[in-house]
Amino acid sequence: MRLHDLKPRPGAKHRRKRLGQGESSGHGRTSGRGGKGQTARSGSSIRVGFEGGQMPLIRRIPKRGFNNVRHGTRYIPVNLEALNRFDNGTRVTEQTLREAGLASGRADGIKILGAGDLSRKLTVSAHAFSASARAKIEAQGGVCELVAAAKTPPQKS
């Protein structure tokens, strides 16, 4: 096989849709933009929810009630199986989990879940544990330490 024998796999390359190349191209006349009007013009864009000047639905409906999402506690889940990468006798904290790439993003804390098996004796320090995770860690001779979650105050909407 030589360089000139190489070619892409079947179906990997598509022909570009050539707009405005006459009626027989299949993409002539309006060139896939529908009829006349605002959306047929170049550079046109209408924001999501815009209803042509009519009061949008999201503003017409009443805003009542309580939404608990703002006041809930969000945890980053970490499965027990993932903790096997740490050495025996290691103290696992939020910082070590983030450095290992097992926890990323913003949340109120880390929750250890019981999916998988743990084969090491670890001291795990987290904000929450599932019952099965706590049982599996302690069965290996490890320790579960609860850390108080640093709760952020709810944002004003």
Domains and CATH numbers, the chain: 75-146 (3.100.10.10)
pLDDT tens for residues 80-111? 999 999 999 999 999 999 999 999 999 999 99
Q: What is the mean pLDDT of residues 127-143?
A: 95
What are the tens digits of pLDDT across the range 26-67? Answer: 999 999 999 999 889 999 889 999 999 999 999 999 988 888
> For residues 3 and 69, what is the distance between their CA atoms, to the nearest angstrom?
58
Strand partners, 110: 76
Residue 1 confidence class, pLDDT cut points 50, 70, 90: confident
Place of tokens 């570009």: 16
Q: What is the pLDDT of residue 149?
A: 65
From edge to edge, which strands make up the β-sheet containing 75-79? Answer: 75-79, 109-113, 128-129
CB atoms within 10 A of CB 86: 17
Question: What local confidence, expressed as pLDDT, does residue 154 receive?
Answer: 56
Residue 156: its pLDDT value, please? 62
H or E element that contains 129: strand 128-129
Predicted confidence (pLDDT) at residue 151 exceeds the cutoff of 70? no
φ/ψ of 81, rounded to 5, equals: -55, -35
